[in-house]
Structure 1
Amino acid sequence: MIAAGVASMGRAATTTTTNPTTQSRWPRAVTRLRLALRSPAAAASGSKHWIGCFRPAPEPASSPAVAVLKEAKGKRPEVEKEPARGGGEDVWSAQAEAEVAQGGGFPEHLVVMVNGLVGSADDWKFAAEQFVRRMPEKVIVHRSQCNSATQTFDGVDLMGERLANEVLSVVEQRRGVKKISFVAHSLGGLVARYAIGRLYEPNNRNISSSEKSRDESERLEGFIAGLEPMNFITFASPHLGSSGNKQLPFLCGLPFLERRASETAHLIVGRTGKHLFLTDNDDGRRPLLLRMVDDCDDIKFRSGLRSFKRRVAYANANFDHMVGWRTSSIRRQHELPKHRLLVRDEKYPHIVHVDKGVTNNNETEARSDLYDPEEEMIRGLTQVPWERVDVSFQKSTQRLVAHNTIQVKSYWLNSDGADVINHMMDNFLV
């Protein structure tokens, strides 16, 4: 980053100088950079964004940080960003940092955002900044970057292991956090489910007298990376995989194309393709997505999900060409809301149906004697309650990119999804 800054200053010097005899502008650029770093004004403002690891000690009550805090009153909070140890980027409010300088506490709720296939941490830029501006004193957002670009071809399990390690690094670095939530898009939902299974710790603490008086449902089922699990939220994630009729909509539901896709997906997206189409059999074991609906010996997938206070699945009801409605909302075909029942909300124009969800223990749903992997995954995942939020961009000019619009991947291209992000934040447990 410093090298980039030096290069930028070198270029600026080359275009503005009036001395034609100077052979190199680098010494002058380096001198300017050093002066900027020594400048008290720079240290109190812009330099903190990109040299966070050299952040000075908390300042006294008369410091510029206090002035920032006072000026922030009544204004939209500014956003601070800093590369996180282990990868990714932490985002929080400058107002919260100013309060820390006065001796206050740092936000206690860590929100981990996970990108999808061929994505990056930048995919959650808009949502992350909205989070910290809406809840400046409560949340710190970590945009994961351990699985970006072609790394997303490595398989759900390997990506999940990387995410788990990244989260542990962030928690180690941010010792003040006490709660954790996950917000994931597309393939990132499966990666996050794998990671929380790895990070799950059962609640084996002795129950105190104060806890005994609490309702049984309020007691913690367990911990994720040592923190209290709050929200597990996915956007257009293929929870049931991509095999089956119309689970990969751009194939138009044609059996021939869907069959060929399952046979060749691994040639395009590597092991991830095998996992999505349930064609993996590593060491003779069952497909990974089938194993991820229950607890395994070493990874507690279902217990990890159960430990969260909320599980929410946002799903595109139409125009999502990458992930089908059934797989993203974890429902059977006949359980999908009828189009005539979809009612728009004035506050959230693209939210067309909200189902608070209940635990599904009904074992009579499957009426066929044939084995159905999709049915097995639905039964396993619905052993814990899910909230389903159905989204439709049918009347939006951005409907053809609904898969990215639902998370506002790029505000200039996907701005119509802003009300979906607002809906998530309005219902977020902090």
Structure 2
Amino acid sequence: MFRGTGACLQTAPRRSRARYFSFRSYVIFVENKPYKDYSQEFTVGDETTGVYHRVFASLGDSLHNLDIHTENTPGGAEGDPFSSSAVIVCTADRGMNQQVRDALGAAGFSTDIMNDDNISAGLVNLGLEKGKDHLNVMLRVIFWEDPQAGAEYINNLSNYVKVLRITPKTPFADLNRWPVPTLKPKETDFTEFNVVPNAIGNLDHLRAEIIERHGGSDYDHVDLAMTNWLEGYGAIALDSDLLADNRDALYLRTEDFQLTTDDDFVITYGVNHVTTGKAIFCNASFYGSKLMNGVVAAHISEYHQDSAAKYFPEGYEDARYFYVWKMARKVDGGCPAVRIPYSTGNPSGSAFGVDNNTDALVWFRSYVDPATHVSAALFSIIWDRAILIKKKTKCGCNNSSGR
């Protein structure tokens, strides 16, 4: 919970370089509305504390490594923000923000490393009393340059990140609330069709080749339907659970499906959004639907840059703009692949896998259009695709592995 005249102060030096890091505040739990059914939602609380459902929606754009104010990138200047300190001031009131900034300045902190995270009362129900919204702040880091140093940072976060909750002893007589933050525009006049004008024909060619090489008469194939995901403001307005969205990422997902046997698998394919210049990295992740637990990821833009080349005629130059990755129980080396772990008997815990005959889905993410410093616009990219390939059974019965 967060009072309208309170503040959250964070200081955060970053040690090892990473492809991407960001800070973002969220509204995570909102009080249940009367006469609305939340039986299918994740809820917490009781009559004493109030009963809340999860929304987990972002409250604006992220502060990330392309524009954060740090000692090495003062005032958001270009440079390397790693191994340098930053201060993030999270407030819902302009007056409180200024008091914190003045105190930081008096303590010797430069305004050039101060970043504002402004929370609007137009988006959240502020206060500490029963029924008020619950907020949190999330740190995301992806692809450490030095994984060992990154693990040391995460496992000892309190050595690097300090969070202070500040509450004035005397409440402000006059409030000067922040407006709803203006979001970075995502639209440009440049789309992936400008880079790969024959993309549709190429994707149809890939689909035919995938079915021929990975399917055949012993398999059925299903082209999985695709849809996109809401952003923070939209989820707040619709009172929907957004599972910690990030405006730096464009999210696409398949419909739910099931692996019936260990011979079933999924082929993901499409345009590599990094190669086209519309993202700094992109991946596809296999999830269980019930818990929304991601269990394995295909890092499309990081490895096997030529993954689609063998599906096109030799020497075809535009093959570099495409990818093909497999998600399967059995990894045979025929193409870049990730192995889907089981839930039952998983030594790391049941949420680290997905069993057969259990609803699953694939999430696709592409992070940060370099031209806008936020994710690409939804219709400026060519959507990823996925094919579920299922082994036929002679009797038409369920031939599951038992897990």
Q: TM-score, normalised by structure 2?
A: 0.23
Identify the structure with bigger relative contact order (alpha carbons < 8 Å, sequence gap 6+): 2
Richer in strand (by share): 2
Richer in helix (by share): 1
